Amino acid sequence: MEKMADQTRALLRDAGQAALATALVRDGSGWPYVSLVLVCVDPNHSPVLLLSDLADHAKNLKADPRAALLFEDTGIRQSESDPLALPRVTLLGQVSVVEEGDECDRLKSRFLARHPSARTYAGFGDFKLYRMSVERAHLVAGFGQVHWLSAGEVLGLASD
């Protein structure tokens, strides 16, 4: 299982973007709502996002912090004829705002180092850093190689 956890952490480190799934609050329906977001990971492999309070996904997270992030190995996508054969991982967890302070400054520096183009809007008042508290992960390492991992395995912590 350690090999699967290592592969999951590598996918998280290498990805610069992910699909974020939240529950839609705009119309009160709770329908799944998916958007593309830029992402980096903290050294402990927790995903960090920079989101605008004006975006539906941020409003959704304020109402219900449960979310999913889908990461894929985009580096080999171009050479692979079957996208479903590519490694990918979905993280499930709760996403919350990172409060202002030293930790927020450190994470913002990390995020901007990964995504320099975000500097143009990172200082706008409606943008905040969010971090996912990972609860579990679903790794598809390739065709027929499907594994559920605990938060401890994903984050490289002692077994849960």
Q: Scanning the structure block, which residue is given the tokens 């402990």? A: 44
Which residues 6+ apart lie within 8 Å of 126 measured at CB? Answer: 52, 53, 54
Q: Please name the fold of domain 2-155.
A: Pnp Oxidase; Chain A (2.30.110)
Domain ranges of the chain: 2-155
Q: Are 101 and 150 in contact (CB under 8 A)?
A: no
Higher pLDDT, 36 or 77: 36
Q: pLDDT tens digits, residue range 96-153?
A: 999 999 999 999 999 999 999 999 999 999 999 999 999 999 999 877 889 999 999 9
pLDDT tens digits, one per residue of 51-90: 999 999 999 999 999 999 999 987 655 555 677 778 899 9
pTM attached to this predicted model: 0.91
The per-residue pLDDT for 28 is 92
